[in-house]
Structure 1
Amino acid sequence: MVDKVVTRDKFNGKIEYFLTSLSYAVGLGNVWRFPYLCYRNGGGSFFIPYFLSLLFLGLTFFVFESSIGQFTSLGPLHVWRMTPIFKGIGYAMFLMCTFVGIYYNMIVAWSIYYLYNSFLNLKNVPWSHCDNQWNTLNCLEDGKNVTGSVNETLSPSQEFFYYNVLNKSSGIDQLGNFQPHLVICLAISWFLIFLGLLLGAKSLGKISYFTAIFPYVMITALLVNGLQLDGSGDGIMHYIKPNFTRLGEISVWSDAGTQIFYSLSICLGGVITLASYNPFYNNTIRDSAIIVVCNSLTSIYAGFAIFSVIGFMAKQINKSIDNAADQGVGLAFVAYPAALSRLSMPGIWSIIFFIMLITLGFGSQMTLVETMIANLIDFWPEKLQRRKPFVLALVCVIMFLGGLPMCTQAGVYILQLMDTYSVPYSAFIISFFEVIAIAWVYGIDKHLDNMRTMMGFNIWPRLYWKLAFKYFAPQS
């Protein structure tokens, strides 16, 4: 292990740390994953397990990771010199960060392609009708099959996503050809990441003023527009209507805990990295609590914007909201674009929506890449500290190449495979060993004393945080 002192970048003030951490935590999952989980798991009653998970799992781990990052001023690889036998946690975080960064930027690339098409077709976006060259006999437009009579039908929005954006094959074993438009969009997204991180934490902090604030402006614009649409009230009621009988199902509580990990991006190393750029004497509990609460309120707020428009679309096509709203990426790239296509000047609203997605994606992605860079520089500081732009460029190129298989016709299957298995199980395992390493081996009392040294006052209530770090977090 390298013991040389590493000169760390620092944020220019607490606002930059707060906005960067908020931008990292608030990502694409806040827009599509949380609203879907909420109405699938009992609507408003899902808030109960969600906020309990937030209190005992999300807040605890965010404070936990922030405090060790700030105290050591080290990245995820070397922060575990506090308990050297657990240094494998840092390598696991690095690998998770790599996998997530590779497929996460592919979703941003899809958004860039949608944005490009929105600019080209302000009045009649291509996913609003069945007159395109990629449409099939299955295309169903406004309740009428305009190209033939078949049993299984798809909407124009579905066909645009499946047959134009992805041109997907029949399965993951059929890679097919590279899609040139996706390769170009992926290259653009990685080039923008490179430019955004060229000056390290300083540029990351400055860009966060945009990536953290702009999505709220866009969500508000979409919500105000959505509330004026016929059927928006039905969509919102479907989103928040409680079904308390669902609270007896273990899957509901599991989804709540998993969403907290996804939403806050804990156990990926990003929280530790950002905290390591903080001044040593900083109130990490206060900052963490504000970030965690703002992140969760953003998820709820975005849900109102999403389902106000989904309710409108459901009424337009005479379907139930359950059938109108797809899961996961389908909500962002099928259902919501289809709803926007029914508005006047759909291209303008689509531009707003996809700029919002791109901004949310970049806010999280830049922290993931910065975490990888910090890990590498901490590992070889004497060689890489002065060559950070080269390291950044090399990482971006390697991760771009790693994402190329997702630009093939089987790309969506690869992405779904990585999304399903790269985070949920790994994050829970990593979090368990994090608790063992610090709370049990290093010593929870010693760690709380470290936090007192940083913040300048006794942690209150000390007993609560002691129980939370040692028992509540791993039990959750």
Structure 2
Amino acid sequence: MARASTQTHHREAFGSRNVFILSAIGSAVGLGNIWRFPYVAYEGGGGAFLIPYLCALLTAGIPLLFFDYAIGHRFRGSAPLAFRRMNRVAEPLGWWQVLICVVIATYYAVIIAWAAMYTWFSARISWGTGNEQDFFFKDFLQMGDASTGVSTQFVPQVGLPLIVVWLVVIAIMALGVKRGIGRANLVLMPLLTVMFAALVVQALFLPGAAEGLNAFFAPNWAALADPAVWASAYGHIFFSLSVAFGIMVTYASYLKRKTDLTGSGLVVAFANSGFEILAGIGVFAALGFMAQQAGTDVSHVATAGIGLAFVAFPTIVAQAAGGSIIGVLFFGALVFAGITSLISVLEVIVAALQDKLGWGRVRTTLIVSVPIALISIALFSTTTALFVLDTADAFVNSFGIMAVALVAVIVVAWILHQLPVLREHLNRRSSFRIGWIWMLLVGALAPIVLGYLFVSELIAKISTPYGDYPIWFIAIFGWGMVIALVVFAVLLALVPWSPRSHAKDDPDYDEFLGVEGYDPDPETGTVAVPDGPSRGARA
């Protein structure tokens, strides 16, 4: 094939399919699996919630996971490059996903830092007994008042471990896909599994564990008639599997040509769900003990998110025999789950700039990660960190991830008509073949469900100011951030691709297309992409 230059770029790759599966599971299994799913299931009808949960997994989660895999593997690029290779007008979708990951990375790291400190605190039960809430909010976070503005007061016990987290993660990222991300997941995921399994066993032997499990699994069949329960199940699945972040698009681009995509996706999806159910068992067994100690019902102690992790579990640690072991296992699991997810989020950003600018791995990692780390430390090592985190997380989930997922499936399915191409790509190399049902789920059901969730969240956020924060605060860290994501995504798509860009002179992509049967034109050296631009147009 004729080339414009002699420079070539060989895309990094995972060492094996098993490493990819572990990395994809590591991305999917994050903090939300441990501290969000158990409460969502409990509120959604307990054992009955498994019905909408499995429906959401089979009709939306797995189909959209295949959707991301097909885009990344077929077009061999980070999110912006993959969407651009599909069609130039789709490139902003990739940058939208990249910018969402930038926001998530800044605050996700601080939760890992909190968990790391609480692993140490658990060994000594530093919060004492009956002081868990005050210890977290007043002694540890030293919370201020959001109404007075964003604080610059540094909190050392948060800032110093946050710096360590960033140093560890940057080192992993700089080593690359195979030596860094792949090896980190080979170590961290087995450790996470062993630690969490040990935690569950420990929790099951606590007094009152049976009452907790009964509360978790006892079915409330009436809940199935509530549309909000079904919406909750679908909303959780979208976030749980890391779809629409650009993560699975990026990870799939590192797979070898002859990889079983759908088979891998099924392993990742069901492993993630298995971990969530395991988390529910462990968490509610522990909450059953907490309720018995307090002489109350499980419903009075059940909570989710930060309250579960940093208030409820320290209470259990302080009261239970062998509580220090439970604390170390629980918070250590949070650290490992958080790190594997954070490196996947950062990889979306690093890979996008590598592809766009043609820089080397170490240079790109430092240029991307250091500024994000500095912003993270500046915003989330202060006395108002929790307010900023809460607002940013609420808005980037509702109007970032959900919105870009909705737009992406509409653009790819209905405007670019790429679903037949993606289906054919998946079926060429997969053990589990898909057909028109997959296209119907992605092209019709997914937009309906995502649209419903998006509109519901929009109405809720407009009708009631989020968290009773000041209007200016929500305008900056909520609505302002959401609008900025879209504006900057379009602007980044308008930036010309560097002559050294991986979008040009990419032998891996050319070879891939040749094997697929799309041979280069003998005179122009371009490769026509079905339903998309030619290789010459991509540049």
| TM superposition score normalised by structure 2 | 0.78
Greater CA drift, 98-107 or 247-256: 247-256
- 1:199 matched to 2:202? The reply is no
Letter in 2 for 1:118: S
Aligned to 2:127: 127
Superimposed CA distance per residue, residues 329-368 of structure 1 (whole angstroms, 9 cap, x where no aligned partner): 1111110121122223433332222111100000100111
**How big is each residue's C-alpha offset from its partner over 1:277-303, in whole Å with a ceiling of 9 and x where there is no partner?**
001121111110110111011101111
Mapped pair 1:417 → 2:420: no
User: Is 1:118 matched up with 2:127?
Assistant: no
Q: Which residue of 1 aligns with 2:420?
A: 445
User: Which one-letter code corresponds to 1:297 in the other structure?
Assistant: G
Deviation readout 1:130-187 (Å, 9 max, x if unpaired): xxxxxxxxxxx3xxxxxxxxxxxxxx11111111221112335444422112111110
Match of 1:48 in 2: 51
1:393 maps onto 2:366 in alignment: yes
CA change 1:168–1:371 in 2 (3 A) is same
Equivalent residue for 2:335, pick from 358, 361, 371: 358
Which residue of structure 2 aligns with residue 19 of structure 1?
Answer: 22
Aligned-pair distance for 1:461? 4.4
Gaps (5+ residues) in structure 1? 130-140, 142-155
CA-CA distance at 1:127 after TM superposition = 1.9
Whether 2:137 is the aligned partner of 1:162: answer: yes
- Rounded to whole Å, the distance in 2 between the matches of 1:161 and 1:319 is 23
1:79: Cα distance to partner? 0.6
CA drift at 1:462: 1.5
- Alpha carbons 2:79, 2:250 under 8 Å: kept: yes
2:92 to 88, 92, 105: 88
Structure 1 residues 319 and 169, CA, compared in 2 at 3 Å: closer, same or farther?
Answer: farther
Q: Which aligned segments of 4 or more residues in structure 1 are displaced greater than 4 angstroms?
A: 2-5
Q: 2:67 aligns with which of 64, 67, 79?
A: 64
Distance (whole Å) between structure 2 residues aligned to residue 40 and residue 465 of structure 1: 30
2-structure distance, mates of 1:280, 1:360: 29
- Which residue, out of 329, 338, 348, partners 1:371? 348
Q: Could you tell me whether the CA contact under 8 Å between 1:83 and 1:438 is conserved in 2?
A: no
Structure-1 separation of matches of 2:91 and 2:301 = 47
AA in 2 matched with 1:117: F
> C-alpha separation between the residues in 2 aligned to 1:39 and 1:213?
28
Does 1:73 find its partner at 2:82? no
Q: 2:35 aligns with which of 32, 37, 42?
A: 32
> Which residue matches 2:154?
178
* Alignment partner of 1:331 is 2:308: yes
| SS of residue in 2 equivalent to 1:289 | helix
Q: Which of 431, 435, 447 does residue 462 from structure 1 map onto?
A: 435
- Structure 2, unmatched stretches of 5+, are 450-539
Q: CA deviation at 1:78?
A: 0.9
Q: Distance in 1 between matches of 2:434 and 2:109?
A: 41
CA distance in 2, matches of 1:379, 1:278: 20
Q: How many residues align?
A: 440
- Per the TM alignment, residue 275 of structure 1 is displaced from its structure 2 partner at its CA by 0.5
- The answer to whether the 8 A contact 2:122-2:314 is kept is no
**Offset of residue 107 of structure 1:** 0.5
Shift of the alpha carbon at 1:117?
2.2
Q: How many Å separate the matches in 2 of 1:295 and 1:449?
A: 26
Root mean square deviation of aligned Cα: 1.9
